[in-house]
Amino acid sequence: MTTTSFPNVTLSTTANVYFDGKCVSHGFTLPDGTKKSAGVILPSSLVFNTGAAEIMECVAGSCEYKLAGSEAWVKSSAGEQFSVPANSKFDIRCSEPYHYICHFA
């Protein structure tokens, strides 16, 4: 099931812009203090480093990702998610806009 909204959030109105605008997101905080971000990755091939563990939820579009230490590319489409360990990295490639929610673990 794809998340469509979060009620009663505090949204950061300043965008996080990465990779020369190929990835843009906004951070937000839920009433219980949980932090997340929602954004879009435009068609590109990128490498992200993680501090905290993350769950990447696809809400529209699709991507292929490869976790650190793996040689396998895996497709993720709307309604699907993948987990990335803390202090790691992942490669992501998109041929269409990939809309996501990043759930920090």
pLDDT tier at 105, thresholds 50, 70, 90: confident
Tell me if 19 sits within 8 A of 38, measured CB to CB. Answer: no
Q: What is the pLDDT of residues 19-42, one digit of tens each?
A: 999 999 999 999 999 999 999 999
Average pLDDT of the chain? 96
Note the pLDDT of residue 49. Answer: 96
**Residue 8 predicted with pLDDT over 90:** yes
Count the helix, strand and coil residues of the chain and give each as a percent rounded to the nearest 5: 5, 55, 40
Note the pLDDT of residue 2. Answer: 86
**Residue 1 predicted with pLDDT over 80:** no
Q: What is the pLDDT of residues 40-86, one digit of tens each?
A: 999 999 999 999 999 999 999 999 999 999 999 999 999 999 999 99
DSSP 15: P
Amino acid at 96: E
* Domain parsing of the chain, residue ranges: 52-61+69-86+93-105
**Residue 95 predicted with pLDDT over 90:** yes
